[in-house]
Structure 1
Amino acid sequence: MLQRLALLVNIDSGTGQVEGVTRIMGYLRSWLEALGCSVTLHDGGQYGPHLVARLRGSRPGEGRRFLLVGHVDTVYAPGSALACPFRRDGELAFGPGVIDMKSGVIMALYSLRALLESHFADFGEICLVFNGDEEMGSPSSAPLLRELARQADVGLVLEPTRSPEIITEARKGADRYLLEISGQAAHSGAEPHRGRSAVIELAHKIVAIDHLHTLLPGVTFNVTRLGSSELLNVVPEMARCWISVRAYTQEGLEAAAEALEQIAACSSVPGTRAYLTRTRGRLPYQATPQVRALVAVARLEAQALGLELVAEAKGGVSDANLLMQTGLPTLDSLGPVGGKMHVLREEFLRVPSLVLRGALLAGLIRQLALQAPNPVGGEETPASS
């Protein structure tokens, strides 16, 4: 497992680095085909290929159909793998993408291998999807994920976790906004009174946006990517910023939209105007009764491994949001344990968790597969191990 993980970590595969993503998909295709999967690659354009692997069980047409989802892209620039190659220090392993989420991808392969080597095939199908654009919001793989989600009964997402006892049952949804301010240019020395500073107006609005955290608890507003005119001797006539908004419910996202529209409609600097553009992102992933039924099965399986499982709600988004949009009951953060994601020289994996969490994933698939045809949301008792 570690040899294969090191191989993947030492390939640059930041989002949009097509060559590296393609190389990784080639290795994954070979390994999955060796397990008996049928594998296809789907063109992701500027993001490289997305991989779909299918393994038929002994109950096609009637057994449980599983969709396992992971990604191979990272947030790191070209050259990161050379600068910080895979290394192990005791129970920790380091490298770009080692926890987010190349180790989850490798773990999924070996969980599948464990099921096969134990001669377990009492399912309809296990479908694995590895995309190369998740860190950018899965713009090219989203249609593929939605299509496959409609063909499945259970979604299992391999994002990492910070503790062996933690999985995810809900995530915030996210919208993105562009706030643009127009003012009036003027010479900042000779005629500053004739100017209407777009930057000062934007500053007022940023403070107002920050105050929304008090008015809308549980909704977060993150202002970033500031920009304006660059000449020091001109009162800036243009300024802009981006805003990331996250909330656990769609109602929270809509309340945020209304509040931002009100801020944009008012002005503190006379003669300035604001323009707000909303780009809708992933919808909130909520803990439905069907999701909580999955959590109950996962807790029983975790107990057999000596774990007291806790299901959390998280502020970050993942492809689990996309799966839930289609109505597919989904559990997330089923991958291994680690931390410092997106911090190049500090991102780490807790190596022993590959085995422990891999056993949890394989056991969860087995338990769910042995249930009645429509167990999610029902009252079924998990099969005994």
Structure 2
Amino acid sequence: MDRKRVSLALAAVTMLGATPAIAARPDARIFKAATDARPAQLALLEKIVNIDSGTGDAAGAAKVMAVLVPELKAIGATVETSPAEVAGLGDNVVARLMGKGKGRILIIGHIDTVFPAGTVAQRPYRIDDKRAYGPGVSDEKGGVVEAVTALKILHDLKETNYASITLLIETSEETGSPGTRKLIDKLVREADVELNVEPGDAPDAVTVWRKGSASIKITVHGKAAHAGVEPQNGRNAAAELIHQIATLNSFPKSGDGLTANLTTLRAGDRVNVIPDLATADINVRVRTPEQFDTILGAFQAFAKKTLIPDTTVEVSTTPSFPPLPTNPATDKLAAQAKTIYADLGLTLTMAGNGGASESALAAAAGTPALDGLGPVGGGFHSVREYLELSTVTPRLYLLTKLLIQLGATPPAR
């Protein structure tokens, strides 16, 4: 690809919304491949976004895998189906390319979404001049398609200077990866580096820290009674639950530190019965494990101080992901990615957020990890979810070149 064609291609990327920050000097061969791949990349994205695959929708997950697996087999990847480790979840896929170099690279992406079956019929994939929309378009189907496309580019360019590249496509990340925990633990310990294709944050960042996540469930047991004839004989579990939820007032609901938010609330099933059971779920995000111990202890202590006589309160927890702390290994990978992005005349920034991911498990195992390598998006877990089209080609270039560099020179564990 000559200098004039590179300039024209970069101009096209700029017209899509990206803003060059410095003089561009892209690797012409990789940039041409990334640019040429764009139509097929977006077509593949449309196919899998238009398949409902909420966590727990095993049939939907299988339909998405039926689209992706042939793409991987076509480039010579060895593809294995790994049954979910928890009943009711979709099977996972592990695809491997073997090379002749040093680096053992693990890429992780997920195709489960937070949306129920029927969402695609209501709001299927669509694009305008700047963005793509649809359930899971950024979180995280855009990143998964980017990973598959990057592997195709390596195959087409005959790039084999890596020991192995393993792509894990999993189906339960949105609930803490219960269907893949053992598999992830095995794969991250076998790898020299883990790259995660969660969406990048606006305006154009990779993720260098993440909060850990967990849920606290409050269960109140009371006594049922006729709400009109003898309410005094009841013990209102819902009223006590409201009292218990007041513990939340001691903790922030937003920000870069610990946050705790009420997410589900259930009580009663008849309008004329004093409820004898009420439950609430509190979503907790922490920067350190100690922060979770603090908030759990607060709820457990308050559970002993009931307002409604003869009610009992239980506090339980379901852990999800640990935090991904700021650390030198991730910072070094981010600096490497920033240098690659500068090839395009673009500035890559570093950020963190409250969304947990598998990269925390990699870092905890001592494997250097970099997150947020997918296209930039926003509006996650809502009807507003979108993917910035201007970042599709630059992010594909970034991931592809990062794979080449890390394959040749992996980071020290």
What amino acid maps onto 1:15 in structure 2?
T
| Identity in percent | 36
Matching of residue 280 in structure 1 with residue 322 in structure 2: no
Amino acid aligned to 2:341: A
Closer, same or farther: CA 217–147 of 1 in aligned 2, 3 Å:
closer
Gaps of 5+ in 1: 377-385
Find the residue that maps to 1:225 and give its secondary structure: strand
Match of 1:9 in 2: 49
Identify the residue that residue 26 of structure 1 maps to in structure 2. Answer: 66
Amino acid at match of 2:402: L
Whether contact under 8 Å (2:106, 2:187) holds in the other structure is yes
Distance 1:278 1:94 in 2: 34
1:188 is displaced (CA, Å) by 4.0
C-alpha contact 2:175 2:320 (8 A) present in aligned 1: no
Q: 1:364 aligns with which of 402, 406, 412?
A: 402
Query: Secondary structure in 2 aligned to 1:333?
Result: coil
Residue aligning to 1:58: 100
Distance 1:118 1:164 in 2: 30
* Counterpart amino acid of residue 147 in structure 1: K
Alpha-carbon contact 1:70-1:131 (below 8 Å) kept: yes
Query: Aligned residue for 1:381?
Result: none
Change (3 A) 1:236 1:29: closer
Q: Does 1:266 align with 2:308?
A: no
**Following the alignment from structure 1 to structure 2, what is the Cα–Cα distance between the partners of residues 80 and 189?**
41
Query: SS at the partner of 2:51?
Result: coil
TM-score (norm 1): 0.89
Separation in 2 of the partners of 1:270 and 1:13?
Answer: 45
Q: TM-score, normalised by structure 2?
A: 0.83
SS at match of 1:349: strand
Q: Map 1:120-131 onto structure 2 (within 5 A).
A: 120-131=159-170
Q: Name the counterpart of 2:350.
A: 311
What SS is found at the alignment partner of 1:176?
strand
Conserved in 2, the CA contact under 8 Å of 1:32 and 1:53?
yes
* Shift, 1:250, TM fit: 0.5
Report what 2:331 is aligned to.
292
Corresponding residue SS for 1:227:
strand
Distance 1:357 1:137 in 2: 26
Alpha carbons 1:58, 1:121 under 8 Å: kept: yes
Letter in 1 for 2:55: T
Alignment deviations for residues 104-142 of structure 1 (CA, whole Å, 9 cap, x no partner): 111112222333333332211111010122222221122
In the TM superposition, what is the alpha-carbon distance from 1:374 to its structure 2 partner? 4.5
Size of the aligned set, in residue pairs, is: 370
Residue 188 of structure 2 corresponds to: 149
Judged with a 3 Å threshold, the aligned counterparts in structure 2 of structure 1 residues 85 and 198 are, in CA distance, closer, same or farther, namely: closer
Greater displacement, 315-324 / 64-73: 315-324
1:136 aligned to 2:178?
A: no
Corresponding position: 1:349 with 2:387: yes
1:1-385 mapped onto 2 (5 Å cutoff)? 1-44=41-84, 45-59=87-101, 63-163=102-202, 165-213=204-252, 218-344=257-383, 346-371=384-409, 374-375=411-412
State the one-letter code of the partner of 2:43: Q
Paired with 1:105 and 1:248, the residues of 2 have a C-alpha distance of 27
Shift of 1:333: 0.8
Distance of aligned partners of 1:335 and 1:217 in 2 relative to their CA distance in 1, 3 Å threshold:
closer
The 1-side partners of 2:329 and 2:103 are apart by 15
Q: Distance in 1 between matches of 2:271 and 2:124?
A: 43
Higher mean displacement: 271-280 or 257-266: 271-280
Gaps of 5+ in 2: 1-40
Change (3 A) 1:131 1:217: closer
SS of residue paired to 1:163: coil
Q: Secondary structure at the match of 1:311?
A: strand
SS at match of 2:398: helix
Aligned residue for 1:337, secondary structure, equals strand
Letter in 2 for 1:26: A
Taking the aligned partners of 1:115 and 1:361, their CA distance within structure 2 comes to: 11
The CA deviation at 1:332 is 0.8
Q: Secondary structure at the match of 2:190?
A: coil
Cα contact 2:139–2:380 (8 A) shared by 1: yes
Give the match's secondary structure for 2:248: helix
Give, in whole Å, the separation in 2 of the partners of 1:354 and 1:113.
15
For the structure 1 residues 182 and 351, does the alpha-carbon distance in structure 2 shift closer, same or farther, using more than 3 Å as the test?
A: same
